[in-house]
Structure 1
Amino acid sequence: MDSSAMPSDFMTLLRKALRTSIQSSLEDAPLHTTEEFSPEDRERFKPIIDGIHFSMRFILTYQLVLIALLAAFTIRHWIGRLSAWEKRRRQDKETRHHDGDTPIAKAFDGKEDAIIGSRSVGSSSSSSTLRGDITPPQLILEGERTEQTPLLLKSQPPKPTLRWLVTSKVKAFLTYQPAPIPIVNKTLPSNGSSLAIIVFLGIQLFYIFFKTPLSFSMLFVSADRTSVLFVANLPWLYLFAAKNQPIKFLTGYSYESLNIIHRRLGEVMCLLALLHSAGMIGVWYTLLRLSGMTLVDFILKRMILLGIGAFVAYELIYFTSLGSFRQRWYELFLGLHVVLQVIALVLVWFHHPRSRIYVGVALGIFLIDRLLYRMCAKMFTTRALLGVKEDGRTVVLCAAIPLEPSCNSFSSFFGACDITGGWKATEHVFLTVPSLARKHIFQAHPFTIASKAPQAEQIGANLELIIRAQDGFSADLLSYARRHKSVDVRLDGPYGSQSAVQMLQESDHAVIIAGGSGIAVAWPLISTLLDVRAKSDPENQYTSRKWGETLFIWVVRERSHLAWLGREKLADLEAAGVKCWVPPPTANNGHPDIRGFIDEWVISLDGTHGRDKKFGVVASGPDGLNRTVRNACAALVREGRNVNVEIEKFGW
């Protein structure tokens, strides 16, 4: 571009170029021939105008790429669901019988009131062992090991095929979860999730740099490309964050599974905003400054001032969303997240004329989710009982929920049923307790429903939440519960994916592992499995085929935490045939050898070949426990075992 252009000429270019509609940019004629520009302007600004309008056309393909990816995941999900349905249908026609109980050692210690396992009471880094060559093998007590006790003998499976070898190695790699990043102690997701994020980031980089001129004279085109990509991402950012959205129905991934995409996309958008702002400052420095425009004059331009406001708002959203900030000031994070989003959208709307279609879609997603669904269709107010458990730091909130048949299949299909329509295992609600304090009136905190999912024929059910007091809302609720027996609450939900439930129901054997308050996920999940297996109606989608063993492991920090579930329920699980192991509390005994126990249990059921049975593993607990379980499953997959794992947690 001609560097002699005056500031007023360049600002005229900005206004004219940005007013040009997308429709005009799709015409075959070169955009620099538009009659909005004089012949002199056409020659002077031709490269910049062409670059701007190429970005306008090019960014439309970005939406097509994301829609195509969404369609691919949708097809994959429904092919899997149809295949599973067909498999269950075939199994309904077969009569299968149990061969007897697997001789896993009973974990009920008669000397204690709690169910305590027979494994090591301390941290274990050694491999587990089996007694001799008994078939099927039995677990032995840690104290029974001697020098003569043979190590775990694994017979060699049949010679693997190349396809089997590659598949197992790839699946194991995708399942594996690396250690946290040193120094910052940043928890990483599984390799599969990280790979998906890398691909997504690669798409962003492609749309930033494809045919983007990098010369100083064309710096405005580069800055404009980042802004166009920023606004193109706005609807997806809000769609991934919305609690009520169609992606769950299409792909099976609910919003908490997509939260990692939402966070990474938000970080990318903050970087795009930074690059755009830096680029515009560069435009001033390389072009406008030489023509006499001061930095103050440039910043005080209405368009620039609005852009700076939007940039500050989104950067504040980023910094207040960091894990360290969220964990320390969660209530402040919630409030700022909503307020700053509204401010930022308004500022972007007035800053950039081409952004308004994207801002409008994003705002529509936000309002439909927040107002139409969460504030209207899915909100339920009731009176709940409060109780403080014996550890003195845990509140149990219990509410009697009338189940209404009015939530028909149509409402359920569109996710418009509140808690009176019932709930399913692993689902959660957002809890609001207005009477705690004014600041809690508009706060909604997610908690997994810890009570058994109601059956279709029930007219009422008890909803129970286990709330471990930390600070802020949970600390205020604990203080309130010590002085009151009941409180009015608002429940928004239920929400959540059924992928863990479906995976376990399609497996031959199930392993459910809870760490601490993760029992809120484990107990309803086990109850659902037991209910499904008790049904014999051949018309039910999950019928009474031969079900294998179910192993339940609950790792608690203190013995008093067993009261969260109750010893009676633990005993009921054993009576129902569930193999239970509750290791001694970790506060005094260290962490148990979860990996070794899972390894022994799988091998005892799967034999020596490792490709006969399908295992489903679900874990919910602290990050360390979840990582241990995931990597134990990755090791088994690498050996050729058919193991699938699901981790139930909120975000990363």
Structure 2
Amino acid sequence: MVSLFSLSGNDFSVSDPKPDPTTETPSEEHRRQLIEGFGFSRWFLITYQAAVLGVVLIAAARHQYKKWTLSTRSRRKGEKANEQNCTRKDDFKEYPTVFESEWTSSSSGSSRTGDVSPPSSSKGKFATENDPLLTRVGNPEKRTSARATQRIRRWLKAKLMYQPPPVPILHRIMPENSTILCVLSLLALNVFYLLYHVDFSTLTSIEIIAGRCGLLFVANLPWLYLLAAKNQPLKALTGHSYENLNLLHRRQGELLCLLAVIHFAGMLFAWWRALRPFLTLYRFLTFEYILLGDCAFVAYELLSFTSLSSFREWWYEMFLASHVFLQAAGLALLFFHHFRSRPYVGTSLAIFLLDRIVWRMKIKTKTVRADLAVMEDGETVKVSADWSISSRSRTGWRFWLGGNMSHGWEPSQHVFLTVPGISKQHVLQCHPMTIASAAPEPGQDHAWFNLIIRAKGGFSRDLLNYAQGHASTEIRLDGPYGSLHALEMLHASDVSIIVAGGSGIAVAYPMIWSLLHSETRHGQRICLIWVVQDASHMKWLGTERLQELKTLGLHLITPPPSRKYGRPDVAALLCDYVHQLVEQAESASDDAKIGVVVSGPDSLNRSVRNTCSRLVKEGLDIDVAVEKFGW
């Protein structure tokens, strides 16, 4: 008998029990529909790879255009500075810091003193979420004559920038609308390939869709592994490093689990409709290649369960171990389950092995001796090391995948840290950490490396306990990783604002250092809003270093510590300083370009992103980037 649920027509024989002559067998029409449906699906799904590749190429073209725009703007700023042949005094003016002692209100940033405080007319202006945040700056005549296309473009940009609130009950953090649109586009593409040219007038369509789900599952596998890889060409093509693509990886993984459920349910329906009179469900599920598919199904569903955000948060080490074991088991079972899955399984395995073994364990790894120091708050560990830098030229494979830490790093990049000395179980563990020290300058032959790690639980708590009894240890660094999009955006802006929440200063400080030492800086206003829980956290950078940044021209804003005074009104604070800094920027009359980067807790990131969205509606030319890992 030819299996009605097979994607390729695998044969098996049924010797007992013998069929009842009075029982109807599947009609010839049913067989014909299955053969035609499976045949069309098999060839149609081949074009799926071309469709996804086309989307990637479109994203690559868009990224290259944006990169060209930013580089052109930065180059013009540099040329403008060279034409004047001098450095503006305001670029290196020291601005007073707004400390907590200068605040008269603990719940809002609207009452401040100092010569960087915004005009009083803007204070207390935004009482509700629907009120306008900022009176637009620029030429009123230009605003009134703005074209409808510009208003539509501004509205669209604001909508894509907006981040919806968390999902009720589940409390699941939602990404910004632009990412949601990408996820929905991926879903729509898969729905199209799932339903196209399917005749729903007969029940045979259920079996055809079940077969397509299996084909779509394996067709998505290589992209799933590529999106999860730390070293892959998508970064150079799209400008998004793996920590941004990881969100798409997780959503695609959830889609694959849904496809697997539909595929499994459709096979059970095929058994119930056509094969139930001939064999029991147990016999059906224990045929060799069916059993392999059952086991693969269980492996991937467990993989999805252990990838839930709550599971990752509480059992991160278990998540890492199960992720490796279950995906390896799933690939092996899928390979033997069906021969048409083998090219996709082989490609996925090759991506995994190249990423993990060749690049991460060999080429991208560096072992150094590091000093460990517990900070004054007793809950933070500072990891410090230094070494000589090798050549930083980015040619050949290094252009696409980057070098290791021996060649230095770029601002806001991060590494995966392994501390084997803690215990045997930590030998194979690696944890993402943002590099908190300034990146080596071009031509510099030595690197000074720092990590600031707050102890919360698991590895970070173990490291804190270990640092209390050990002044130094051997560490293994896998990296660096991370996109430079946010930094390039700030360099091309007239007003650059970085909002850091707590240890988010590890992202902010290298960026600020790069901006303040940029040769193209001309009339650029640079501001840091640093929200801390405790005043002692300011010592993570040190008074001397903060003073050095202020001397170079940094506007430093420090709201009251949230642990004592409650959370500050970052939205109002950001709006006020955007208003003032835009007025101060040299190109304010030409509609100043504003760049905002935020790194902190989810609530802070959403508040800053949505504030920027509302400012875009008000007519400001503003871009925002969130520096946050998506594990």
Report 1:376-415 matches (<5 A): 376-405=362-391, 409-415=395-401
CA distance in 1, matches of 2:308, 2:7: 37
Aligned partner of 1:229 among 216, 219, 233: 216
Amino acid at match of 2:278: G
Report 1:121-136 matches (<5 A): 121-124=105-108
Aligned partner of 1:251 among 221, 224, 238: 238
Q: What does the per-residue CA deviation read over 1:115-154, in whole Å, with 9 as the maximum and x for residues that have no partner?
A: 5474554223x977999xx9x9845699999xxxxx9866
SS at match of 1:186: coil
Amino acid at match of 1:195: L
CA distance in 1, matches of 2:429, 2:59: 34
How far residue 488 of structure 1 moved from its aligned partner, in angstroms, is 1.0
Alpha-carbon contact 1:121-1:590 (below 8 Å) kept? no
How far residue 246 of structure 1 moved from its aligned partner, in angstroms, is 0.4
How far residue 410 of structure 1 moved from its aligned partner, in angstroms, is 2.4
Residue 61 of structure 1 corresponds to: 47
Residue 53 of structure 2 corresponds to residue 79 of structure 1? no
Residue 541 of structure 1 corresponds to: none
Residue 630 of structure 1 corresponds to: 609
Residue 597 of structure 2 corresponds to residue 615 of structure 1? no
Residue 3 of structure 2 corresponds to residue 11 of structure 1? yes
Residue 275 of structure 2 corresponds to: 288
CA distance in 1, matches of 2:208, 2:181: 31
CA distance in 1, matches of 2:4, 2:613: 60
Which ranges of structure 2 fall in alignment gaps of 5 or more residues? 12-25, 126-132
Residue 576 of structure 1 corresponds to: 552
Change in 2 beyond 3 A, CA 1:624/1:43: closer
Aligned partner of 1:598 among 574, 590, 594: 574
Residue 488 of structure 1 corresponds to: 474
CA distance in 1, matches of 2:417, 2:65: 36
How far residue 199 of structure 1 moved from its aligned partner, in angstroms, is 1.4
Change in 2 beyond 3 A, CA 1:104/1:417: closer
Residue 409 of structure 2 corresponds to: 423
How far residue 218 of structure 1 moved from its aligned partner, in angstroms, is 4.4
Residue 346 of structure 2 corresponds to residue 354 of structure 1? no
How far residue 82 of structure 1 moved from its aligned partner, in angstroms, is 2.4
Change in 2 beyond 3 A, CA 1:205/1:104: farther
How far residue 102 of structure 1 moved from its aligned partner, in angstroms, is 9.9
Alpha-carbon contact 2:161-2:609 (below 8 Å) kept? yes
Amino acid at match of 1:10: V
Aligned partner of 2:499 among 468, 491, 513: 513
Change in 2 beyond 3 A, CA 1:502/1:226: same
Q: What does the per-residue CA deviation read over 1:352-376, in whole Å, with 9 as the maximum and x for residues that have no partner?
A: 1110011111111101100110011
Alpha-carbon contact 1:105-1:138 (below 8 Å) kept? no
Alpha-carbon contact 1:117-1:582 (below 8 Å) kept? no
Residue 108 of structure 1 corresponds to: 97
Aligned partner of 1:194 among 148, 155, 180: 180
Residue 21 of structure 2 corresponds to: none
Greater RCO, 1 or 2 (C-alpha within 8 Å, sep 6+): 2
Normalised by the length of structure 2, the TM-score is 0.89
SS at match of 2:290: helix
SS at match of 1:554: strand
Change in 2 beyond 3 A, CA 1:41/1:278: closer
Change in 2 beyond 3 A, CA 1:71/1:604: same
Residue 35 of structure 2 corresponds to residue 49 of structure 1? yes
Which ranges of structure 1 fall in alignment gaps of 5 or more residues? 1-8, 20-39, 110-114, 146-150, 536-543
How far residue 55 of structure 1 moved from its aligned partner, in angstroms, is 0.8
Residue 163 of structure 2 corresponds to: 177
CA distance in 2, matches of 1:117, 1:87: 39
Amino acid at match of 2:551: A
Normalised by the length of structure 1, the TM-score is 0.86
Q: What does the per-residue CA deviation read over 1:329-381, in whole Å, with 9 as the maximum and x for residues that have no partner?
A: 01100110111110000011000111001111111110110011001100111
How far residue 477 of structure 1 moved from its aligned partner, in angstroms, is 0.8
Alpha-carbon contact 2:419-2:426 (below 8 Å) kept? yes
Change in 2 beyond 3 A, CA 1:102/1:595: farther
Residue 128 of structure 2 corresponds to: none
Amino acid at match of 2:97: F
Amino acid at match of 1:553: I
Alpha-carbon contact 2:498-2:597 (below 8 Å) kept? yes
Residue 19 of structure 2 corresponds to: none
SS at match of 1:409: coil
Change in 2 beyond 3 A, CA 1:611/1:313: farther
Residue 270 of structure 1 corresponds to: 257
State which drifts further: 427-436 or 77-86: 77-86
CA distance in 1, matches of 2:514, 2:415: 18
Residue 148 of structure 1 corresponds to: none
Residue 474 of structure 1 corresponds to: 460
Change in 2 beyond 3 A, CA 1:55/1:502: same
Residue 357 of structure 2 corresponds to: 371
State which drifts further: 452-461 or 152-161: 152-161
CA distance in 1, matches of 2:394, 2:573: 44
Q: What does the per-residue CA deviation read over 1:88-139, in whole Å, with 9 as the maximum and x for residues that have no partner?
A: 4444443357877499994437xxxxx5474554223x977999xx9x9845
Alpha-carbon contact 1:425-1:452 (below 8 Å) kept? yes
Amino acid at match of 1:270: C
Residue 23 of structure 2 corresponds to: none
Alpha-carbon contact 1:320-1:333 (below 8 Å) kept? yes
Aligned partner of 2:542 among 566, 571, 575: 566
Change in 2 beyond 3 A, CA 1:46/1:588: same
SS at match of 2:625: strand
Alpha-carbon contact 1:509-1:550 (below 8 Å) kept? yes
Alpha-carbon contact 2:387-2:447 (below 8 Å) kept? yes
How far residue 220 of structure 1 moved from its aligned partner, in angstroms, is 2.6
How far residue 85 of structure 1 moved from its aligned partner, in angstroms, is 3.1
Aligned partner of 1:323 among 299, 309, 319: 309
CA distance in 1, matches of 2:172, 2:470: 39
How much is the aligned-residue C-alpha RMSD, in angstroms? 3.0
CA distance in 2, matches of 1:446, 1:372: 19
How far residue 460 of structure 1 moved from its aligned partner, in angstroms, is 1.6
Change in 2 beyond 3 A, CA 1:431/1:129: closer
How far residue 44 of structure 1 moved from its aligned partner, in angstroms, is 6.6
Amino acid at match of 1:530: L
Residue 307 of structure 1 corresponds to: 293
How far residue 59 of structure 1 moved from its aligned partner, in angstroms, is 0.8
Change in 2 beyond 3 A, CA 1:267/1:14: closer
CA distance in 1, matches of 2:360, 2:347: 18
SS at match of 2:517: helix
How far residue 611 of structure 1 moved from its aligned partner, in angstroms, is 6.1
Sequence identity percentage: 42
CA distance in 1, matches of 2:113, 2:457: 45
Change in 2 beyond 3 A, CA 1:403/1:244: same
Aligned partner of 2:229 among 233, 242, 252: 242
Amino acid at match of 1:225: R
Residue 6 of structure 1 corresponds to: none
Amino acid at match of 1:492: D
Amino acid at match of 2:570: I
Aligned residues: 599
